Chain A
Amino acid sequence: MDINTILFSGLSIGGMGIIFGLGLGIAAKRFAVEVNPLIADVREALPSANCGACGYAGCDAFAKAVVEGDAKSNGCPVGGQSCAEAVASIMGEEAAIVAATTAFVKCKGTCDVAKEKYEYYGVEDCVAASYLQGKGSKQCTYGCLGLGSCVKACMFGAIDIVDGVAVINEEKCTSCGMCVQACPKDIIEIIPSTASVRVDCNSQEKGKDTRQACSVGCIGCRKCAKACEYDAIEFINGLAHIDYSKCTQCGACIEACPTNAISAHLS
């Protein structure tokens, strides 16, 4: 072998490497983008769920928004109070209080109390089932189908299907809201976790139809609203809604409800 061959190949490839390396080095200086070091610190303090519950594209986007003053330090619902304190200390401000919230499934139409229209043998997915005739197999078109679209959406393993209805484990729930988006029936709602008196029904049908479909549905009789001394219950489309800021959790509505559609959820 000719010594020139070794020399040429070594020099040319090595030379190319050095030239490209120098070029990249110069380019890195020339095109340097300044990044605020605070963003990295805030990002570290976040839970990295990348769930988007804060309203930003992910933890990176939220960290950037906090540093730039577009988002509040307590904007992360997943991290809770400890995360808000950590972010606030990095930003050098007082920690604001995070109101603990949780997801809640407004349906207790389990297999024994809610009637079925037909037997469903299709895809195990609520979205797919709700496209079908009659919006799913349950006679109540507002009720939980129990096929687990929310279970699949939950990144924290906080949802189980118990007896045909989704049940949220509030200790694991971070109220990120992924299940709220996944549910085709809009049954899941984010509510304050301190509120224990809740309406377990989403049916906006007429009282008679609701009663035929499910024995624990809200029939819109307004007895709870009359029983409430604090004017906290309001009816929208024949369905009771509790205003959690007015509710004192006295339980008068629970006793007044003839179908047990309102109940106390003690965690």
Chain B
Amino acid sequence: MELLLFFVGTILVNNILLSRFLGVCPFLGVSKKVETALGMGLAVTFVMTLASIMSYIVYEFILTPLNIQYLYTIAFILVIASLVQLVEMIIQYVSPSLYQALGVYLPLITTNCAVLGIAVINMQNEYTLIKSIVSGLGTAIGFTLAIVLMAGIRERIDYNPIPKAFQGYPIVLITAGLMAIAFLGFTGLI
């Protein structure tokens, strides 16, 4: 029950994009169409869950015994980058159609700070392995939710008469701000 509440909390209350403001680059970059946004969301979900597990293992069984925890940033980047490469190869081999659907978004996740962010958050809060996995999965679903909502809004923005100064990214940033305020309403849910 506690884990379930924690799961919902990571999706809505501590939404990685709209309350922690991590991973904003893909949030603005690949939210032009709902389909591509969903593809990006799925790829992130996949990688973020795996990265949570891997970074937990590396931190607990390599960094802590050697007493070099301060190297966590570089170690996590190493883990995530290798993981994304490996996942890309495996997906291309096992399911070419999924590989085609995810396209360029999969390698782009290597540099997605939300993935690194969640690994660091898990470590700083000293979550257990199970809790780290739930945290990674929940955060990724929250990411997918926010980016798909944003894409839905942006598809409609195109048909509205926007003042010239606000066209393009300015209106998108304002929209993101308004969405963040709306998500603030979930505070106190848990």
A binds B: yes
- Contact check, A16 vs B78: say whether CB atoms are below 8 A apart: yes
**Assuming the A-B contacts A27-B86, A27-B90, A33-B96, are A16 and B68 also in contact, with contact meaning beta carbons closer than 8 angstroms in the complex?**
no
Size of A's binding interface in residues, CB under 8 A: 21
In angstroms, Cα B67 to Cα A12, docked, is 11
In the complex, B159 has a CB within 8 A of chain A: yes
Among candidates B66, B79, B89, B161, residue contacting A12 with C-beta atoms closer than 8 Å: B66
Q: Do B58 and A9 have beta carbons less than 8 Å apart? A: no
Please give the number of chain B residues whose Cβ is less than 8 angstroms from any Cβ of chain A in the complex: 22
Chain B CB within 8 A of A118 CB: no
Of A9, A31, A127, A128, the residue contacting B90 (CB under 8 A) is A31
A8 pairs with B68, CB closer than 8 A: yes
Contact yes or no, A17 B159, CB < 8 A? no
Dominant secondary structure at the B interface:
helix
Q: Which of B62, B75, B82, B90 has the largest number of chain A CB atoms within 10 A? A: B82
Identify whether the interface residues of A are mostly helix, strand, loop, or mixed. helix
- The reply to whether A24 and B86 form a contact with Cβ atoms under 8 Å apart is yes
B92 A12 Cβ-Cβ under 8 A: no
Contact of B74 among A13, A24, A33 (CB under 8 A): A13
29 sample A-B contacts, Cβ–Cβ < 8 Å, listed by A number: A5-B68, A8-B66, A8-B67, A8-B68, A9-B68, A9-B71, A12-B62, A12-B63, A13-B78, A16-B75, A16-B78, A16-B79, A17-B78, A20-B78, A24-B82, A24-B85, A24-B86, A27-B86, A28-B89, A31-B92, A31-B93, A33-B93, A33-B96, A123-B160, A123-B161, A124-B161, A125-B159, A127-B159, A128-B159
Chain A interface residues (CB < 8 Å from chain B): 5, 8-9, 12-13, 16-17, 20-21, 23-24, 27-28, 31-33, 123-125, 127-128
